[in-house]
Amino acid sequence: MEEMTHPKFAVVGHPNKGKSAIVSSLALDDSVQISDTPGTTTVKRSFPLKVDGKVIYELFDTPGFQRARRALEWLEGHDVSADKKYEVVNAFIHTFKEDPKFNDEIELLEPIMEGAGIIYVVDASKPYGEEYEAEMEILRWTGQPSMALINHIDEDDYTAEWKRALGHYFKIVRTYNPMDVSLEQHLSILESMAQLKEEWTAPVKASMDFFQHYYDAMLHQSSEAISQALQSAISLTETLYFESDNATEAQKKQLETHYKNSLRAIESDTQKSIESIWKHEHLEKNQNPLSFDDMDLFSEASASLFGLTRKELLMTGVSSGAVTGAGIDLLFAGHTFFLGGAIGAVAGGVGAYFAFNELSEIKVFGKTLGSKYLEIGPMENRNFPYILLGRLLYHTSVIAKRSHAKRDKVVFEMQSSFKEKWLDDSLKKELEKYHKKFRSGKAVDAEEMKVYDTLIYGTLQKLL
């Protein structure tokens, strides 16, 4: 049986029209060189999109045409029938291979002559001009199937005239914005590629299936990473051993700091994994780490940001029977509340040390034994899981929607309305069961984790 090779496409055109941006966005590769200096790409380079080690399609980034008219003159100097034009292009490559004059033309023609389909890129924010005709003529000489992509770099719009001109040279003309991609846009471009040549329909359709599965796999991996982070953060405990009779304030402070840093690390490691899952390996970003000191995390305002008033948080705890007297007091210490007095009495009886009362109490162990230690965790704050989950869902939605062609710094600015996009009462109720379990410090079996993960996956799906 003949081996089915993956589809290949050469992205070609005038300098500085967004060819590399298109390659970057379609190959999900943020290492492609993109810049507003014309002539950035000087040699052809292959960017395969690989899934589980298998190439699903391959794109060639190429330099822009530099001497299209001269090259076309040379080709036209050979008066041959249409079936021979292909050979003349090969002769052109052969003749000028060592000549720097046609370096760019040769770089861009080579992948085409080796079987790649043509994607001709234009920028419709600049007027159409005859100078492009030599480029399109040369591409026609290769005899390879081709399509045109209309990009829009600036504001002005000459799409109508471009469409009229391109229609003479390409049977498929599409608009595409490499800076603003979605699964739908990506699949619809692949759909057009599949129509270019009959023999390519099956392999390109197969690539579309692969791509869809791949996208779904990225979603699954992201929700797994988020579930793991929630479980680790909520169940996290930290200990600090001490020698003297009583732990010092400094030791308690040290433990508290350590605990906060570990929580921050869980978040930032998860963010990194998610960026890597979505192939954003070179991301520059501006992101605030988890904050515990200001109003960000524990204020009434931040609780309501996630749809949880203090009363609700309290009621969730009470109705699920999850919370001990101490737990409630830890969460609401310092606030007068309708149950506060009664709970305070219970908590007082526990005699715990409330140095870090908003997250978890610091417990002292081993009082009568040789080794004494302080322990903090698991997380007792009912608000925290929703804060962390909201932040990770937001992060993932930004990353998953970001085009690989963007080179600016990502700015994460979560609006307070974001929570309305994902958290409602029924989800909250479902999630709370698992947060309670994580908090208990008991082992969570794989089946339970899977159900929690499915909740996160469904939520992510709605956000993307």
Ligand X SMILES: Nc1nc2c(ncn2[C@@H]2O[C@H](COP(=O)(O)OP(=O)(O)OP(=O)(O)O)[C@@H](O)[C@H]2O)c(=O)[nH]1
Two structure tokens written together for 219: 């979603």
Whether 157 and 133 have beta carbons less than 8 Å apart is answered as no
Q: Considering CB distances under 5 to 8 angstroms, the limit depending on partner class, which of Mg ion, ligand X, none binds residue 39?
A: ligand X
Which residue has tokens 């080796």? 114
Smallest separation, CB 65 to Mg ion (Å): 12
Residues within window 7-46 making contact with Mg ion, judged by CB under 5 A: 19-20, 40-41
Among 4, 5, 31, 38, binds ligand X (CB under 6 A): 38
Torsions phi, psi for 49 (to 5 deg): -100, 115
Whether 212 and 219 have beta carbons less than 8 Å apart is answered as no
Smallest separation, CB 445 to ligand X (Å): 48
Distance CA 230, CA 437 (A): 11
R_g (Cα) of the chain, nearest Å: 30
Measured from the CB atom, the residue of 126 and 197 that comes closer to Mg ion is 126
Site stretch for ligand X (CB under 6 A), options 28-36, 274-282, 391-399, 429-437: 28-36
Two structure tokens written together for 192: 């057009």
Site for ligand X contains 41 (CB under 6 A): yes
- Closest Cα partner for 211 from 453, 6, 1? 6
Q: Per-residue string for binding with ligand X, 63-102, x by CB under 6 A?
A: xx--------------------------------------
Among 1, 2, 3, 36, binds ligand X (CB under 6 A): 36
- Closest Cα partner for 389 from 226, 221, 218, 219? 226
Whether 85 and 69 have beta carbons less than 8 Å apart is answered as no
Q: Considering CB distances under 5 to 8 angstroms, the limit depending on partner class, which of Mg ion, ligand X, none binds residue 64?
A: ligand X
Among 40, 159, 287, 324, binds ligand X (CB under 6 A): 40
Measured from the CB atom, the residue of 65 and 141 that comes closer to ligand X is 65
Site for ligand X contains 17 (CB under 6 A): yes
Smallest separation, CB 93 to Mg ion (Å): 20
Two structure tokens written together for 258: 């350590």
Q: Considering CB distances under 5 to 8 angstroms, the limit depending on partner class, which of Mg ion, ligand X, none binds residue 227?
A: none
Smallest separation, CB 285 to Mg ion (Å): 24
Distance CA 276, CA 32 (A): 16
The gap between the terminal CA atoms of the chain, to the nearest Å, is: 40
Among 142, 144, 151, 357, binds ligand X (CB under 6 A): 151
Distance CA 458, CA 220 (A): 10
- Provide the binding-site residues for ligand X, judged by CB under 6 A: 15-21, 34-36, 38-41, 63-64, 151-153, 177-179
Interaction site with Mg ion (CB under 5 A): 19-20, 40-41
